[in-house]
Amino acid sequence: MTWMRPQDGRSGLMRAEARYPVKERRIVFDEHNLVAAIERVLPDFEAIWQATPHQAEVTVAHGRFQLRSQHPDYLTQASRALASRGAPTRTTCRIAIVTLANPALTAPDWPTSTFRERPMEALLSETPYRLHYFPELQFWQIYDRDRAIGLQIMPTHDGFPPWDPGSPLRNFLQWHLGEETGSLLHGGTLGLGDRGVLLAGEGGSGKSSTVLAGIFGGLSSVGDDYVYVETDTLIARPLFETLKQDRAGLERLNRHTHPAIPQEDNWQGKRQFYMPDVAAWPMPEALPLCALLLPQITGGNRTALAPVTRKEAFLALAPSGVTQIHCDRQRLFRIAAEVSRQLPAYRLTLGTDPQEIVYVLRRFLEDR
């Protein structure tokens, strides 16, 4: 199946498209009319863009993102979380954040009983379109890579998933920034000078607590949860300023009363706060990577490093990113595999003393 951009407004999917009844001011999606449905929603973009009053602009991993929203609170929240550093060198991406009630929008509708994510991703893989749909919230993200325009559609101005405040617009970041030699990866980072490590593993492995211990212990970082990694240079770039840690972890670091860290838990039972508010100095715009570390909490007293295979490294790095960043599965797997192939990998068995963990990491980075 091939795709060609239509010249007359019809779907570019080269096959007959069945006609489906459409509710007034609503476009019904399914697997049979997916591309045609997207191409009926996106023509609203310019009218929505011009009619949306609140604006913000950020530069993330050298990409310029112009944002507009019906409600300024979302832009304030997103701008706080996004790591806007450096000068843009990429094509500008425009994203409009609107609600289903927006009068300029012909609202999409996908009956929950017919929505299947994997077949949807396969159908869009040969087109410039990307889509993420979260049926429980009627939360949509639709993107055209050719024109670098995106719509985030929510039922209400605060109808976003609970993880969105920590990593807002992350699918759009991947869809716009992702290329043959670069991708978002789910992992944390720590560095010393011009040498850094990427920490990978599933939730609860100790990534965030290790990153936070390192930041408080004088190491640098370009991200606690997601970073952008270039495989040709092995450089990691920041995407988000957010940090997260539970109360017990903050108590181990003696930071549970820090004035910049809220006392309320987020949806994961963690406190969410921001790197510039707790770091002793500004974090770098880029961090060259020299190793991939797989943290593991064992309850032992000492922190230690031991080599692991490339396969172990890949299995720690790839799956969580692929499940959390949507509609770019092949690229995410490919970049994770390339990073795992190039970087030496080690199991980081974590002791219970944060200062000792930082000491071991500092010595490791000094020796690279």
The type of residue at 262 is P
Report which of 178, 194, 143 is spatially closest to residue 333, judged by C-alpha positions: 178
What does the pLDDT read at residue 90?
A: 86
Total number of domains constituting the chain: 2
Residue that has been written with the tokens 């979260």 in this structure:
134
Q: Which of 132, 149, 177 is the last residue of a domain?
A: 177
153 and 231 share one domain: no
Burial class (CB in 10 A: 0-12, 13-18, 19+), 215: buried
Q: Are 140 and 169 in contact (CB under 8 A)?
A: no
Q: Which domain holds residue 269?
A: 182-367
β-sheet with 54-60: strand ranges across: 54-60, 63-69, 93-99, 149-154, 139-144, 129-134
E strands of 232-311, at which residues? 235-238, 242-245, 271-274, 287-297, 304-307
- Taking alpha carbons only, the member of 282, 203, 296, 200 closest to residue 244 is 203
Q: What are phi and psi of 21, to 5 degrees?
A: -65, 135
Q: Is there a single domain that holds both residue 140 and residue 225?
A: no
- Residue among 59, 33, 264, 266 nearest 176 (CA): 59
Reference 89, options 60, 48, 52, 132; nearest CA is 60
172 and 318 share one domain: no
Torsion, CA 67, CA 73, CA 78, CA 84, rounded to 10 = 70
Residues 208 and 132 both lie in one domain: no
Mode of pairing for the β-strands spanning 107-109 and 129-134: unpaired
Domain co-membership, 106 together with 208: no
Asked if residues 189 and 198 have their Cβ atoms less than 8 Å apart, the reply is: yes
Query: What pTM did the predictor assign?
Result: 0.91
Query: What local confidence, expressed as pLDDT, does residue 9 receive?
Result: 42
**162 and 191 part of one domain:** no
- Could you state, in chain order, the average pLDDT of each consecutive group of 10 residues for the chain (368 residues)? 46 37 71 96 96 96 96 96 90 96 93 94 96 96 98 96 96 96 96 97 87 96 96 97 94 93 94 94 95 92 95 94 91 96 97 95 96
- Are residues 153 and 191 both part of a single domain? no
Angle at 331 between CA 177 and CA 1, to 5 degrees: 110
Q: Residue 24 has what pLDDT? A: 54
